Amino acid sequence: MTEGESLTFYGFDLSEDRVANAKYGVRVWAVPENGQKSALSLGFLRADAKAQGRWVLRVESPQIVKAMSSIFVTVEPASGGKQRDGQKMLYACLGEANHS
């Protein structure tokens, strides 16, 4: 894929036991550029390299990636719906450079 068509989001040093045993997950959300107030759930981070404590979420939809202005993460019930209940833990503005 080319730039602007996919996004790979990594998380490190997440407590796998807490997340797995408590039946919670770290969910990534996208905030659209078009001024909509509701965030779009991109999905949950999944263990990628357990020995390194690395988690990953890949988004391979050019339409979604190009429409994002920022992303944030929350801890949510793993069996929950698409509504956000958890508090924002991390927020990142993607900026213009990521949309070229």
Q: Which domains does the chain have, with CATH numbers?
A: 7-99 (2.60.40)
pLDDT digits (tens, 9 = 90+) for 10-41: 888 776 555 555 678 889 999 887 666 688 89
**What is each CA distance from 48 to 10, 12, 54, 84, in whole angstroms?**
9, 10, 6, 24
pLDDT digits (tens, 9 = 90+) for 65-84: 888 888 999 888 877 776 77
Residue 92 pLDDT greater than 90, yes or no: no
Q: Are 70 and 9 in contact (CB under 8 A)?
A: no
